[in-house]
Amino acid sequence: VQPLRAGPLHVRRSHACPMASVLICGGGNAAQVCSCLFGSRYKVTAISLYGDEAERWDQAVKEAGQMECTLAPQQKTVKAKPDRITKDPICVRECDVVLFTVPSSFHEQYFAALEPHVKDGTIFAVMPARSGCDFLFKKVMGHKASKLGLVAFETLPWACRFNEWGKTSTVLGTKETIGAAVVPPAGKSVTEVILKLQGLLGVEPMIVECPNVMSISLGNPGQVVHPGITYSRWKDWDGQPLAKKPLFYHGADEFCASVLSGISDDIQAICNKLKSVDPSYDTSQVKTIFDWYMASYSLSCKDTSNLQKAMVTNSAYDGLCHPMKGTEDTGFTPDFQFRYLSEDVPTGLCFTKGVADLLDVRTPMIDKVMLWCQDKLGKEFITPDGKMGGKDIGYTRAPQAYGVKTKKDLMEFLGLKPALNPLLPVLAVAAAVIAILAVAKPKIV
């Protein structure tokens, strides 16, 4: 990684680059940042399957001459551009790494479009993967899945946004670490895959290996934070428009923190149950929501004494508001169709709730938040009695939507080995002794 220096950065690509080509999927905030930052050092192709977005993006770059990304914490700027911007999925044939930055509700669309053209050994890095990404990957890729790599990231590397779409963007803050579960392609090691992706990201954030994709699925912070904050802020809303947009993260109060902690506690209960089923199954990296904030943003938070204080003093969240509809003239109302619910409930909480049901784990806070959220989305994911069996389960990433209907099905998919009853060896020895004594007992004539 080239060192930062004053003024705009014009970084030359290294001819010794170990990565021949990167395909960036999407056209939103993260895709804009990745295309500029990575385009300064690697061969980058950007693909968007959304309408004429690729054509418009390509035209915007041509008008500007290049893209520009400002790294706000360092007060530096990177200038670069992708080598190609397209909507043709055949471009994946030339790429070693495919980086998903699209919302999780579009993951299946991109997997399906790329599947006919992808070559063996290609690494799919999904950031954020949200929950159940491995279930979806195996469903879409079928027999090819074993020859491809899957890296499920817990979140994006940065808090970022585009300023002028297709031209300028800003990194507001960079996470210190980022968790990733790696399923390497045949013939490659986990270490090789991580080193390749770390080279792409640079020094920060540091990739921390997670032991399995389930750790990413259950540790998905979006499923806790986004629905939790939305529920806390709007559950008692009277329906009247607001004069201004309320702050999202910086508006969190103590009740909000209790809701997030409650969801987090439900998730920890699921981890404990998985551990009781198979003591060798590692979920130790599924952090509580407070621990996740400390791992990701401790240097950005002025007060880390508790979860609520950490959230409202996190400089990386400066100015970020609730997604709203309306104008200053009409007033603002919440947009419940925004991805904070439309993505993080079906591809986050629904997965977690589905796993909880299969393991017979109670999730009181998740149930409360999900029932409210699904009402706002006009869906039924869980039944009124809190079971993951609503009529719209097919829209979710719940294991049940992929044919995993029982605890046994789940154990087989995850490769869990049930714990042996600690009394079994004792009982076996006792049975053997009884059998020996029965044989040795003298007959009475």
Q: φ and ψ at 44, to 5 degrees?
A: -120, 130
Is 303 within 8 Å of 310 (Cβ atoms)?
Answer: yes
Going 270 to 273 to 275 to 278, the CA torsion angle's sign is negative
Residues 6 or more apart in contact with residue 371 via CB below 8 angstroms: 382, 384, 386
Q: What is the 3-state secondary structure (H, E, C) of the chain?
A: CCCCCCCEECCCCCCCCCCCCEEEECCCHHHHHHHHHHHCCCCEEEECCCCCHHHHHHHHHHHHCCEEEEECCCCEEEEECCCEEECCHHHHHHCCEEEECCCHHHHHHHHHHHCCCCCCCCEEEECCCCCCHHHHHHHHHHHHHHHCEEEEECCCCEEEEEEECCCEEEEEEECCEEEEEEECCCCCCHHHHHHHHHHHHCCCCEEEEECCHHHHHHHCHHHHHHHHHHHHHHCCCCCCCECCCCECCCCCCHHHHHHHHHHHHHHHHHHHHHHHHCCCCCCCCCCCHHHHHHHHHCCCECCCCCHHHHHHCEHHHCCCECCEEEECCCEEEECCCCHHHHCCHHHHHHHHHHHHHHHCCCCHHHHHHHHHHHHHHCCCCCCCCCCCCCCCHHHCCCHHHHCCCCHHHHHHHHCCCCCCCCCHHHHHHHHHHHHHHHHHCCCCC
**From 117, 143, 226, 250, the catalytic residue:** 226
322 is a catalytic site residue: no
CB neighbourhood size of 39 (10 A): 26
Cα distance between residue 335 and residue 320, in whole Å: 15
Q: Which residues carry out catalysis?
A: 226
